[in-house]
Amino acid sequence: MFGYRVPAPDEAMLISGGRRGLGGAPFRVVTGHGKFVLPIFRKTRFLTLSMCEAEVVEHCVTRQGIALKVRAVIAFKVGNDKESIVNAGQRFLSDQDQMSVLTGRIFAGHLRSIIGSMTVEEIVTERQKLATEVLDTSKSEMAKIGLHVDSLQIQSIDDGDTGYIDAMSAPHKAAIQRQAQIAQAKATQAAAEAEQEAARNQAEYARQTAIVRAQYSAEVERAQAKAAQAGPLAEAHAQQEVLDARTELAERAAQLRQQQLVAEVVKPAEADAERIRVLALAEAERMKIQAEAAASYDRVALDRMLIDQLPLIVKEAATGLSGANVNVLNGADGLGEIAAGLVGQGLTILDSVRNNLGTPTARAQTQGEREPVDIKRYLGAPANGRGDGGKGDGPVEIQ
């Protein structure tokens, strides 16, 4: 539109003519939007707000008297506030390149001042401190001309041919070289160890590969051998099953034969043995009964024999008394007592003979040929038939 002007984003539009600007400035400042400007009556100019750069190369002398050549770069721009734009517009609107020249000169002066108060070691090791001090000392001056410094970088410091910085850095260089050599040696050693480890890994991999291959080969050979033995093994298993069946059949036949033998031989033998045992028991019982009967018969026969022999016993007793000298003191009563004594003596002899005949020897004799009884032995008479009456040839006195 005719007469309507709009500044760029990095520009400030300065309109002169008509009303005055901020603080009695000869122009008005417009940023960020357009403005209708009457032609002929108003005049429009533009001030850049973009970043500018100034390079400073200055020969300075340190506190130690050592000359240094310092190279620095300053990044600056016109401030965004109205006041800074007015200040910069009044100074640099007609020749905006002068901002870089003036800024370089301002910083060169402050740079020489600050370096003159520091040593080479401080300048080299504390560059940020140097830049901060230069910025702080120049900030007020830059604000007066409407400029704002964004950064200051010390690019290089050179002592020329004096070699001070080199001498100062020699120990560090030696240490760095030593460290570099150590690092190189470590790197070489690490590389050698890595190579050895790689070689070991390769050898281990080769060994494992060989083992796996050998295992695979062994498995294949086992499978082949198993496959080759499958037929014979199956045949052997079949033969073994046949043998097992035959063995089982033979065992069953043996058991059956054993049962038959038990039924045909053992059981009849046991029956015969039981019969013989029963017969033997019966025979023994019969013989026992016969023996008891025989013994009873022998006692009856003995009693009868004793009764038959009793007269003989009395006779023998009388014969023993026939030659004795007997004095009868009490007459008929004494004779009666003598007779009674003879009878009692005969009965005693009878009991003795009966007891002796009751022994096994006597019974054996009774069952066989009987031996005649020696009555004289039981009466105590001598073999010549003479009876002493146990007291010799003297007279017998009965009280």
The per-residue pLDDT for 95 is 87
Residue 309 has pLDDT above 50, yes or no: yes
Locate all alpha helices (DSSP H) within the chain, ordered by sequence.
Answer: 82-92, 98-116, 120-125, 127-144, 164-261, 267-322, 332-357, 360-367, 375-379
Backbone angles phi, psi at 139, to 5 degrees: -65, -45
6 token code pair: 């709009």
Average pLDDT, stretch 95-108?
Answer: 90
Round to whole Å and give the CA distance between 165 and 97. Answer: 36
Q: What is the mean pLDDT of the chain?
A: 77
Q: Give the tens place of pLDDT for each residue, 158-180.
A: 887 788 887 887 887 888 888 88
Q: Identify the band that residue 211 occupies on the pLDDT scale cut at 50, 70 and 90.
A: very high
For the ranges 32-41, 208-217, 275-284, 313-322, the one whose mean pLDDT is highest: 208-217
Question: What is the value of pTM for the model shown?
Answer: 0.41
Looking at the domain covering 4-170, what would its CATH class be? alpha beta
Average pLDDT, stretch 84-103?
Answer: 87
Round to whole Å and give the CA distance between 118 and 194. Answer: 50
Round to whole Å and give the CA distance between 57 and 66. Answer: 17
Percentage of the chain lying above the pLDDT 90 cut:
9
Residue 20 has pLDDT above 70, yes or no: no
Residue 386 has pLDDT above 60, yes or no: no
| CATH 3.30.479.30 domain residues, the chain | 4-170
All residues at 6 or more sequence positions from 42 whose CB lies less than 8 Å from its CB, including other chains: 15, 16, 17, 18
251 vs 3 pLDDT, higher one: 251
390 vs 344 pLDDT, higher one: 344
Average pLDDT, stretch 43-72?
Answer: 88
Contact 302, 334 (CB under 8 A): no
